C-alpha cells in the first residue's frame, strides 16, 4: 500500500451477504481510474482464518488476511457487512456471531472510521459502537435492532446515516451509496459523481434518500433527452422554462413535452422541479446554506416555491428535512 492509499478492511464470515462485500470494492476501485492513479484505497477481506468463506449466495470467497494479522495495522475504514437467517414463517432475523462481534470491537479501535452495510449494523450495535447514536439498517430488521439495542436510535428510513466517525447503511444496493459517500468524504463530491457515472448511477443519492422511495431517475433511451438532463443539472440555478429547453433541443415546446412524457414519464417542468428538489436535498444535508441561498442556487425563485415543491414531492418542509437528515460530522 502506498502512502496515498487508504486501508479498507471488510469483515468476512460464514453466511455473509455477497453484495455487501463486493459492492463497496467496486466503488473504491474506480477512484484510481478517475484520478491520476496515485490515490485510492487498498481493500482487504479479513476473516478468522484463511479458509474459504461461503457467502449467503453460495459463492465461496478467499480472505486476504486474518483478523489477528490485520489488528496490528492502522485501518482507515472498517466495513462491517451482515448476515441473516429466515424462520419457519420466512421472517428475517439478523445474525451476530459473538466471535465476529469481538473482532469488530477490536478492529474498530484501530480504525479512523467504522461503517456497516445492511444488517451489519447489528454487529456494530452488539460491539457497543452504536450506543447513543442514530443508525439505520435494512428495513426488515430495523425493529429487531431497536428491540435488541434500546440505546440505539434506529431510523429505518434513510439509506445511510453518519454519526461522527460511525456510518451505517441500509440494505442491499445502498452499499453503493454508502461507499460513494465515503469517497466524497475522502476526495470530494466531484470525484464521487464521476465514479457514480461510471457505475451508471445518474445521481449520487444523499443519505436522506428513503429506502422506500424510487431512488434513481428513469433512464432515457435517446441521446437528446440525456443531453437535456445533463443540461438541466449544469444549469439548475437558471430559469429553465419549457421554451428555454425546447430552444436548446431545437424542437417545438409541444414536441419537447411529448418527448419527456414518452421517455421519462413526466413533463419537462415536472422533471426540472424533481431535479431541483434533488439538488436542494443534497445542500440541506451537506451544507449550512440558508434557504434563501438554496432557492438561488437551485433556481426555485422564491422560498415559497421551494417549500411547495418539498411538500409536493417529499411531504415535508425543507427545514424539517434538514433537521432529520443533516449529516453529523462530529
Sequence length of the chain is 330
Structural domain boundaries enclosing 152: 5-198
- Clarify whether residues 176 and 290 are in a common domain: no
Claim to verify: residue 146 and residue 243 sit in the same structural domain: no
Report d(CA 193, CA 207) in Å as an integer: 15
Rounded-to-integer distance, Cα 303 and Cα 147, Å: 41
CATH code of the domain in which 271 resides = 1.10.10.60
282 with 234, same domain: the answer is yes
Q: Are residues 34 and 113 in the same domain?
A: yes
Please state, in angstroms and rounded to a whole number, the distance separating the CA atoms of residues 116 and 100.
13
Q: Are residues 23 and 113 in the same domain?
A: yes
Cell of 52: 474459504
208 domain-assigned: no
Pair 104, 80: CB distance under 8 Å: yes
Q: Given 104, 118, 121, 180, which residue is catalytic? A: 118
Give the pLDDT confidence score for residue 133 in this predicted structure. Answer: 95
Determine, yes or no, domain membership for 205: no
Whether residues 117 and 243 fall in one domain: no
- To the query of whether residue 298 is one of the catalytic residues in this protein, the response is no
Query: Same structural domain for residues 66 and 194?
Result: yes
Which residues of the chain carry a pLDDT beneath 70? 1-4, 36-38, 172, 200-222, 325-330
CB neighbour list of residue 322: distance below 8 Å, 6 or more residues apart: 284, 285
Total domains in the chain come to 2
Q: Does residue 290 share a domain with residue 161?
A: no
Q: What is the pLDDT of residue 37?
A: 61
Same domain, 96 and 12: yes
Residues 173 and 228 in one domain: no
Do residues 188 and 288 both lie within one domain?
no
- DSSP 8-class letter at 62: -
300 CB-near residues (< 8 Å, 6+ apart)? 276, 280, 294, 306, 309
The pLDDT of residue 198 = 81
Residue 58 maps to which CATH number?
Answer: 3.40.50.880
Whether 210 is covered by a domain: the verdict is no
Amino acid at each position: 500500500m502506498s502512502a496515498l492509499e487508504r486501508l479498507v478492511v471488510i469483515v468476512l464470515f460464514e453466511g455473509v451477504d455477497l453484495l455487501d462485500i463486493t459492492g463497496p470494492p467496486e466503488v473504491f476501485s474506480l477512484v484510481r481510474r478517475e484520478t491520476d492513479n496515485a490515490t485510492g484505497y487498498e481493500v482487504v477481506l479479513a476473516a478468522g482464518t484463511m479458509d474459504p468463506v461461503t457467502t449467503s449466495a453460495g459463492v465461496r470467497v478467499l480472505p486476504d488476511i486474518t483478523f489477528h494479522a490485520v489488528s496490528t495495522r492502522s485501518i482507515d475504514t472498517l466495513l462491517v457487512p451482515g448476515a441473516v437467517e429466515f424462520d419457519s414463517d420466512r421472517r428475517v432475523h439478523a445474525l451476530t456471531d459473538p466471535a465476529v462481534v469481538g473482532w469488530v470491537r477490536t478492529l474498530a479501535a484501530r480504525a479512523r472510521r467504522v461503517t456497516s452495510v445492511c444488517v451489519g449494523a447489528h454487529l456494530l450495535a452488539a460491539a457497543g459502537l452504536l450506543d447513543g447514536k442514530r443508525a439505520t439498517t435494512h428495513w426488515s430488521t430495523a425493529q429487531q435492532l431497536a428491540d435488541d439495542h434500546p440505546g440505539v436510535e434506529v431510523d429505518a428510513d434513510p439509506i445511510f446515516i453518519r454519526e461522527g466517525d460511525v456510518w451505517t447503511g441500509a440494505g442491499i444496493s445502498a452499499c453503493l451509496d454508502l461507499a460513494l459517500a465515503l469517497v466524497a468524504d475522502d476526495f470530494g463530491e466531484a470525484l464521487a459523481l464521476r465514479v457514480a457515472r461510471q457505475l451508471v448511477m445518474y445521481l449520487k443519492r444523499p443519505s436522506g434518500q428513503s429506502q422506500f422511495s424510487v431512488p434513481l431517475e428513469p433512464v432515457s433511451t435517446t441521446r437528446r433527452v440525456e443531453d437535456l438532463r445533463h443540461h438541466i443539472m449544469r444549469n439548475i440555478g437558471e430559469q429553465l422554462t419549457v421554451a428555454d429547453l425546447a430552444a436548446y433541443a431545437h424542437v417545438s415546446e409541444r414536441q419537447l413535452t411529448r418527448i419527456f412524457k414518452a421517455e421519462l414519464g413526466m413533463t419537462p417542468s415536472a422533471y426540472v422541479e424533481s431535479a431541483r428538489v434533488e439538488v436542494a436535498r443534497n445542500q440541506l444535508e451537506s451544507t449550512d446554506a440558508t434557504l434563501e441561498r438554496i432557492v438561488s442556487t437551485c433556481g426555485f425563485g422564491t422560498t415559497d416555491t421551494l417549500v411547495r415543491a418539498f411538500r409536493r414531492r417529499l411531504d415535508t418542509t425543507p427545514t424539517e428535512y434538514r433537521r432529520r437528515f443533516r449529516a453529523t460530522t462530529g
